[in-house]
Structure 1
Amino acid sequence: MVNFSKRFPGKPVYFTFANYLIIVQRLFRIYTDSFKGLSTESWMLSIVMLLNRAGSMVLPFLGVYMVDHLKFSLADSGMVLSFFGIGSVVGSWLGGYITDRIGEFKVQSFSLFASVPMFCLLPLFHTPASLAVMVLIQSITSEVFRPANSVAIAKYARPENITRAFSLNRMAVNLGFSIGPALGGLLSAISYNFLFFSNAAAALVAGFAYIYFFRKRHARFIAQKETVVVQDVKPAKERSPYRDMRFVAFCLLCSVFSICFFQLLNTLPLFYKDAVKLDQGMIGILLGYSGIVVVLFEMLLVHIAERRWTITHTMVIGTILCAISYSILGFSHHMLWLFVSITFLSLGEILILPFMSTITAARAGKFNKGSYMGMNGISVAIAFIISPLLGSKIASIYGFERLWIGTGILLLIASIGFYFSVKKLFPHSKA
């Protein structure tokens, strides 16, 4: 029994074991409630995503692989990584376009199986130019998956649970991402080739699992769609996301945020290796820890945010947390602060990325969700072009400290932009 009467004047305040037990039970109830009401299909999509992302070892270590194993310069490494971004832009646009025409089932199936040979071929190319071309092709192949997957989540989720359905999917991504880099750090210490072949194997398993789970469900959904009444027939013309100026402004802010955030996947591992002098194993542990934080707290935080905050406030808070995270790195390289920084970055990620998808799905029409998801995917994918080039350039000229402080300032500006942009997207609702 703990007496808090000295800290709180008046009547004595006692915390007994029973009080602690009640608090734990309430927290556990809130946590379990955050998973309730999700459709079976939402869970299945997340399982497939987990299988796929458990092999996500290549991208976080691609910069380290090029500098450490292939002996590329920092500038050449940034150039190759930017081609991943170009492929992401093309893949996001193409994925959204063809998803609206042939459906998300065929697009996701193609992407998963076609990624397998691409990953296997990557270690055969050893020059910046040839590797850049292969990274471009692999990126296009992999990234057509994203808008199709987002459409599938929106299609199978119950309307009142759409944000949590996106969160569940992202939780699976991050659980896989916590496994992948941690394992990747260990495998790369033996041979970098294991990174590529493990990614290929994971994509293959995910492809078979997806076909097995959704083949019959997709056919049943198509059969039901063919029986809809006349008023549900696709209209002659529906608003293009590229002419929706408010959504375009929102996507520009998403690009700014993503350019800053995705330093996590390129410049941050180089910072850990070159400035902090960490080995691959420790880098993998830090990146894996980020995924664990997201897995443990995503559903809980999203559930709380939906109940207590507006979507505008959620976006602002998440962006500010990311700003604090990067700013910390500009002042200290101590291991404790590295973990504090990655924790803030993970919590900010939780509050931004699922709601970014929810805003996009809510803004889209009934028959052009693929195009809207594709455009938002493009806004994020642009970061894969700019982020490695800009991050590595600033780090090489001005140093990592100025890079991180500048990133923090840019994120604070983005948080102000989100405040006004999201309100304008939904002027007649509590945004």
Structure 2
Amino acid sequence: MKTFLKLYIDSYRGLSPAAWLLALVMLINRTGSMVIPFLGIYMSSELGFSKPQIGIVLGCFGLGSVFGSWLGGWLTDKFGNFKIQLWSLILVIPLFLILPQFRSFHGLAVMIFLLTLVADTFRPANSVSVARYAKPENITRAYSLNRMAVNLGFSIGPALGGFLAKISYDWIFYGNALAAAVAAVVFIYFFRNRKPNVAAEKESNQAKETEVEIAEQKPTRNAYSDGLFIIFNIICVFFNMAFFQLLGTLPLYYKEIHLLEPDQIGLLLGFSGFVIVLFEMILVHMVEHRFSVKQIMLWGTVIAGISYMMLNVDYGIPWLFLAMFLLSTGEMLTLPFLATVSISRASKSNQGAYMGFNSLSFAVANVFCAYLGTYIAEHFGYNILWTGAGTTLLICALAYYWIINKMDKEKGLA
């Protein structure tokens, strides 16, 4: 136990105060992540939407994420990360407050698109902010701290949202608005006059000065014409479409098949975030130097596939928690290394393009995965859905191993 605590604490030593404060803002903001996990249940129970309609509305969530991520990056370059983060937090407050008034299919679809569009402009601005305030030697760990805050918030948010839903589903929207308001106040208080890290700023200026030199060097690979990387991202789309049934159809399955109450569903979903917060840093630290990336991603994706297959049999609530634990383990072994593959494929001059292309695979998957999942559940049943999701993940596991092996051979590492 002492060794575990020492490893855990050492993982976060030396991080700047600003990195911790950014993580605090993210934690408060993500603690309000109550709407999306319960949105499908809300549309089914309160609004009487069909599963295909639920899938389309959740697809609008993914579409808003695509445009919000792009818009946030463009606005951040134009106006700076502070203003974009602040206005994103402020503008989502009235959107959350009025969302319960939109109860028609078309009205809710439009509002979910607008809400996600505004909310996701926060993400690229926040990423730039982490880079500006972190010490250069700790930037990877600063991003890890932010990811921990996201997962901790996601473990609290759904659990809290489940209890609020028992009072009224409207309170989930109000709770999200309150969290955004608190996050905005904390962000203004700590960052309105805060200067970026001097070393990070110096490094940024040096990078700008070398742009001309880079342009005169031999051209590097283009992310969008890199054949192996394109195939890798196509695999990522299928992986994400299967994996992120977690946020779309899985809560509906808990309600309709296992007859769980909203607070029980919230605890199950929150359990995932708790497991990731507790074990991810330690697990990644244990495996990254013992196994190759292709081996880690192979087994991580296999474990995620098995977790969905487990849902085809019913051994009660403990079985659901075990399946969620395995799904979280698969996530810890797979998602962090998607970025590792992307950044290792890039050169110093085009890391942003490669990371952006990989992020796009998540957004594209979110557009289609909810509709596809709800359509299969409606017309063929949940067993076919879980079998299909599990099989897709098993195929993706082999595909990841194959494409990463091809990349390694090209670099002479295999």
What TM-score comes out, normalization by structure 2 length?
Answer: 0.89
Distance 2:207 2:123 in 1: 30
Distance 2:329 2:164 in 1: 28
Could you tell me whether the CA contact under 8 Å between 2:63 and 2:364 is conserved in 1? yes
Partner of 2:158: 181
Partner of 1:331: 313
Distance 1:157 1:365 in 2: 22
Partner of 2:336: 354
Q: How many residues align?
A: 408
Partner of 2:185: 208
Distance 2:362 2:270 in 1: 22
Residue 72 of structure 1 aligns to which amino acid in structure 2? F
Distance 2:134 2:57 in 1: 37
1:430 Cα deviation after fit? 5.9
Matches within 5 A, 1:35-46: 35-46=12-23
Distance 2:293 2:308 in 1: 23
1:164 Cα deviation after fit? 4.0
Residue 285 of structure 2 aligns to which amino acid in structure 1? H
Q: What do residues 32-55 of structure 1 show as CA deviations (whole Å, max 9, x unaligned)?
A: 333334444433332221011000
Could you tell me whether the CA contact under 8 Å between 1:255 and 1:379 is conserved in 2? yes
1:198 Cα deviation after fit? 1.2
1:358 Cα deviation after fit? 3.8
Distance 1:164 1:73 in 2: 43
Could you tell me whether the CA contact under 8 Å between 2:132 and 2:201 is conserved in 1? no
Could you say if the C-alpha distance between residues 76 and 126 of structure 1 is closer, same or farther in structure 2, counting changes exceeding 3 Å?
same
Check if 1:88 corresponds to 2:68: no
Q: What do residues 38-87 of structure 1 show as CA deviations (whole Å, max 9, x unaligned)?
A: 44443333222101100000000001111111111222111111111111
Check if 1:142 corresponds to 2:114: no
Distance 2:141 2:208 in 1: 32
Could you say if the C-alpha distance between residues 110 and 305 of structure 1 is closer, same or farther in structure 2, counting changes exceeding 3 Å?
farther
Partner of 1:73: 50
Partner of 2:324: 342
Residue 36 of structure 2 aligns to which amino acid in structure 1? L
Aligned equivalent of 1:375, options 341, 354, 357: 357
Question: Secondary structure of the equivalent of 1:308?
Answer: coil
Gaps of 5+ in 1: 1-23
Matches within 5 A, 1:401-412: 401-412=383-394
Matches within 5 A, 1:22-421: 24-154=1-131, 156=133, 163-215=140-192, 216-218=194-196, 224=202, 228=206, 231-233=209-211, 240-332=222-314, 334-364=316-346, 369-421=351-403
Could you tell me whether the CA contact under 8 Å between 1:97 and 1:371 is conserved in 2? no
Distance 2:349 2:83 in 1: 17
Distance 1:411 1:417 in 2: 10
Distance 2:202 2:299 in 1: 41
Residue 376 of structure 2 aligns to which amino acid in structure 1? I
Distance 1:373 1:99 in 2: 17
Could you say if the C-alpha distance between residues 243 and 148 of structure 1 is closer, same or farther in structure 2, counting changes exceeding 3 Å?
farther
Distance 2:58 2:316 in 1: 28
Gaps of 5+ in 2: none
What TM-score comes out, normalization by structure 1 length?
Answer: 0.85
Distance 1:84 1:327 in 2: 26
Please, which moves more after superposition, 271-280 or 30-39?
A: 30-39
1:217 Cα deviation after fit? 2.8
1:154 Cα deviation after fit? 4.9
> What RMSD in Å do the two structures reach over aligned CA positions?
2.8
1:124 Cα deviation after fit? 1.3
Could you tell me whether the CA contact under 8 Å between 1:123 and 1:193 is conserved in 2? yes
Give the number of the structure whose alpha-carbon radius of gyration is greater.
1
1:273 Cα deviation after fit? 0.4
Distance 1:79 1:61 in 2: 15
Could you tell me whether the CA contact under 8 Å between 1:170 and 1:354 is conserved in 2? no
Q: What do residues 149-196 of structure 1 show as CA deviations (whole Å, max 9, x unaligned)?
A: 334445555666555443322221111111111110110111111111
Q: What's the % identity of the aligned pairs? A: 47
Distance 2:139 2:205 in 1: 25
Could you tell me whether the CA contact under 8 Å between 1:256 and 1:414 is conserved in 2? yes
